[in-house]
Structure 1
Amino acid sequence: MMRRKPFLSAVRRTRAPAAPPARRGLRRSIAGALVLPVVVGGFALQAWGGRDGERMFHEVVARVATMGLDSLTDAQLYEKAARGLLAEIGDPYADLFSPEQLAAFSREALRNSYTGVGMQIGLIRDTATVMRVFVGSPAAQAGVRAGDRVIRVGGEGVTGIPLDQVTQRLLGTPGTSVEVQYHRPGTGPVQHTFVRERVKLPSVGYAVMLEDDIGYIPLDGFNDTSGEEVLRALVDLRKRGATSYVLDLRGNTGGSLDQAVRISGLFLRPGQQVLRADFRGAPDETYDARAQPVMPDAPLVVLTDGPSASASEIVAGALHDHDSADII
């Protein structure tokens, strides 16, 4: 934090002849409208426009670096400036990620691979609880089940701490070990030493046949293999007798744009437009279906809900616009 002196102490005041009482307030208001300084360490910097605005920015950074109460590196100053810029433009979809935040986004939003033990946890009351175990992961091989409650990680208790801190303790370098104690309802405490591995998060956890020859595919996210996973599920269900399909995008908050285009192309004909991106000051970009569709004429229903967003909306919208699916 910087100490900021009162506004008036940063503006040089000059003595002027006294104005009539009726006009003094008007003059004071005009002066206040014309003087718009940025107060840094007691120094006033006039607000500039155009190229002068760039000079003002660098002068503010320089003065904060030399006069600010807290000692910050240049990298920290520019990061804070960038975050402040994104906060001020009012775009709720613009954000700046640190390397740690980017890794978490890749793991949780894009659902790409990560290094850990292979269990998805959620906070129930104050305890990290296993919500899902990924097939073939160290957790699956150890027999971890959904509903197990994580009590200790690396010899330290984790009850009552934020979920992201529990997750960070489970993650690590491939080949390293971590001791985890969890409580299983009806069994009691269970302790196991896991060896961390690269865990691939599937987009399609399973695909099943419903009644009346309907194939059902739940798509949890859009990572770099989602298109291939949906394709495999469609081919497998067709071999098992499916003639119509349900693509479930409920709870799918999106991810890779390229995979959204590819999945849409499984049901669209080459050249049909999936998406047009409009830019200010740059040419528009269009994304069309490219490959031959796998299921161009099969009846298709796409399920969506409130959390369905981003890439999910692209797929649902494209299939709806080309009359290739009914959206529910």
Structure 2
Amino acid sequence: MFKKKEREDTVLEKQNKGKSKKRYSLLTVVIVGVLALLVGSGSIFYIMDQKLTAAQQTNSSMSKIEAVYSTLYNNYYQHVSRKKLENGALNGMVNALGDPFSEYMSKSETQSLNDTISSSFTGIGAEVRKNGDEIQIVSPIDGTPAEKAGLKANDVIQKIDGKSMSGVSLSKAVSYIRGKKGTKVTLTIKRGSETFTKTLVRDTIPVKTVTGKLDSEHKTVGYIRVSTFSEKTAAEFKSEIKSLRKKGAKSFVIDMRDNPGGLMDQALAMSSMFLKDGKTIMQVQTRDQSPEVFKAGKKYDGGFKVKEKTVVLINGGSASAAEIFSGALNQSANIKLIGTKSYGKGTVQNTVPFSDKTELKVTIAKWLTPDGSWIHHKGLQPTIKRDFPSYAYQTAINTKKTYQKGEVSDQIKKIQVLLKALGYGPDKANGYFDTDTQDAIKKFQADNKLEETGTADKSTIEKLEGKIAEKLTNSDNAYQTAVDEVK
């Protein structure tokens, strides 16, 4: 009835398009035939009776839905549009699943998903998901406004341009976030017990999903960053491997941190490059079926293999396709994972398009790691646990107020933590703005050519946070450990 497009918000299966439907149909015929031979013609009537019962139940349900629709449209005390009732019914059925990754998408929301797949859209560059009534960030995409603004995995978007996102659908929230390049969008973010606002300027999200370079100190170590899995990621990845080899790379650090996932066929192709032919990449299990096993081979990697020593970096923002890749390399090629526990998304979604350019996105299977584990809500555990210093995860400081001696607050404690991280003191970060804190701020202001007021105003706080960001680039413990492993 509909041509099914196999996609997913973070893991999008485009593998064996058209073949799967034929294979399962044939399997159904074979099973029915075997049953008839084994237990006689009586089983045929039993199966037909089952189908008849199912059809009757469906007709009964649809009649009830039609009755409710007709009653509301004709008898509600105010006029209500057919489209509103239709969308309400469709969304209601999907929401009844309680699955944040299944949804009925409007025309604009469908286009938004298609843009994401092709990586040709404008927005802030953050992968988001529905978590209960909340809109939650899975991870910011590298080099985007979201990443530059310091948004992090598990941040909750409470408001967009002052509009509450509580109970708002995921696709509707995304439509609020996206917009024309150069326009601004203000997000109210909740991180832990803290709430703050960030105003971001929408930009074109990078089409290039793979970047690489040689380590600055160890020129035989190639570093490759994969920001997401879109239509050309595997080709970009292969090209980057070849380029770094020519430059002298003898080993690789693959960075999957804050990678929200993407197309499953790209994850299969990239994983296969590191695995011996015949080794399991992943398994996909649909309802009431045995898992389908996907194995490395020329059909995925075209014969291109990476045999150099490799490690993979992961963190809480590594989701879905990034977890497929990381899990495959870890379990089927004994490649170490370094960092922190990954996000934990183990389901696959397909989309069914309608003639009015809307789509139904629905979870149709769960995917398993090579050893058969389902990491949904669990994530992958790193082989070696490494992380940034704790101050890297501190929430943003409110710059609407100037802080001064004698005050006490959590915001002052944050200032003290950052001052201490930069070597200015004070000895204790207790939230009390004492003389030591004042002296530390004066010295910081002097070193950075700011007015030496001894108070923490907006310009001082912004400079302080900027210096911390610079410091963090040299405090990547996971990356340094990875280099030590492969150099």
TM over 0.5: yes
Shift of 1:166: 7.5
Partner Cα separation in structure 1 for residue 312 and residue 114 of structure 2: 25
Equivalent residue, structure 1, for 2:337 = 327
Q: 1:201 aligns with which of 195, 207, 219?
A: 207
Cα distance change of structure 1 residues 288 and 121 upon mapping to structure 2, 3 Å threshold:
closer
Alignment of 1:99 onto 2:103: no
Which of 222, 225, 240 is the aligned partner of 1:215? 222
In structure 1, C-alpha distance between the alignment counterparts of 2:289 and 2:125, rounded to whole Å: 42
Contact kept, 8 Å, 2:274 with 2:333, in 1: the verdict is no
Matched with 1:66 is: 74
CA distance in 2, matches of 1:260, 1:290: 13
2:278, 2:295 within 8 Å by CA — same for their partners in 1? yes
Q: Hey, what does 1:224 align to over in structure 2?
A: 231
Q: Equivalent of 2:311, from 301, 319, 324?
A: 301
Residues 255 and 70 (structure 1), Cα distance of their counterparts in 2 relative to 1, 3 Å cut: farther
Secondary structure of 1:322 counterpart: helix
Q: 1:49 offset after TM fit, Å?
A: 5.9
Match of 1:80 among 70, 79, 88: 88
Quote the residue 1:13 is aligned against: none
Q: Is the 8 A contact 2:124 2:177 kept in 1?
A: no
Cα distance, 1:98 vs structure 2: 1.7
Partner of 1:89: 97
Q: What is the correspondence of 1:246-265 to structure 2 with a 5 Å cutoff?
A: 246-265=253-272
Tell me how far apart the structure 1 counterparts of residues 125 and 59 of structure 2 sit (CA, whole Å). 50
| Alignment-mate amino acid for residue 319 of structure 2 | A
- The question of whether the paired residues in 1 share the 8 Å contact of 2:125 and 2:205 is answered with no
Query: Structure 1's 265 and 121: CA in aligned 2 closer, same or farther, altered over 3 A?
Result: closer
Q: Indicate the SS of the match to 2:104.
A: coil
Selected match of 1:168 from 161, 165, 179:
179
For normalisation by structure 2, the TM-score amounts to: 0.40
Shift of 1:133: 7.5
Q: Tell me if structure 2 keeps the 8 A contact 1:223–1:256.
A: yes
Work out the CA distance in 2 between the residues paired with 1:199 and 1:95: 24
Label 1:301 to 1:69 Cα distance change in 2 as closer, same or farther (>3 A).
farther
Structure 1 alignment gaps of length 5 or more: 1-47, 123-130, 135-145, 148-158, 171-178, 182-195
Q: Deviations over 1:278-328 (max 9, x none)?
A: 111456433322325534431111111111111011111111111242111
- Is the 2:209–2:233 contact (alpha carbons within 8 Å) kept by the matching residues of 1? yes
Q: Residue type of the partner of 1:96?
A: Y
C-alpha displacement at 1:199, in angstroms?
7.9
Q: Determine which structure has more spread, i.e. the larger CA radius of gyration.
A: 1
When residues 73 and 160 of structure 1 are mapped into structure 2, their CA distance, relative to the original with a 3 A threshold, is closer
Task: Provide the rounded CA distance (Å) in 1 between the counterparts of 2:327 and 2:311.
Answer: 12
Which residue matches 2:22? none
Structure 1 pair 293–71 and aligned structure 2 pair: CA distance change class (3 A): farther
Letter in 2 for 1:309: A
Map residues 237-276 of structure 1 onto 2, 5 A cutoff.
Answer: 237-276=244-283
Aligned partners of 2:108 and 2:175 also within 8 Å: no
- Asked if 1:277 corresponds to 2:284, the answer is yes
3-state DSSP class of the match of 2:111?
A: helix
From the superposition, tell whether residues 95 and 50 of structure 1 become closer, same or farther in structure 2 (CA, over 3 Å).
Answer: closer
* Distance (whole Å) between structure 2 residues aligned to residue 93 and residue 180 of structure 1: 28
Shift of residue 64, structure 1, vs aligned partner: 1.7
Provide Cα deviations, 1:71-129, integer angstroms capped at 9, x if missing partner: 44444323211211121122232122222223333445x45224x6xx8579xxxxxxx
User: Aligned equivalents of 2:212 and 2:250: distance in 1?
Assistant: 14
Q: Across the two proteins, how many residue pairs are aligned to each other?
A: 223
Separation in 2, partners of 1:239, 1:70: 71
State the alpha-carbon separation in 2 of the partners of residues 100 and 50 from structure 1.
30
Indicate conservation of the 8 Å contact 1:270/1:288, yes or no. Answer: yes
Does the Cα contact within 8 Å between 1:268 and 1:324 map onto a contact in 2? no
* Higher share in helix: 2
- C-alpha separation between the residues in 1 aligned to 2:161 and 2:286? 46
Equivalent AA in structure 1 for residue 287 of structure 2:
R
Match of 1:127 in 2: none
Q: Report the equivalent of 1:55.
A: 63
Secondary structure in 1 matching 2:316: coil
Two-structure CA RMSD over aligned residues (Å): 3.4
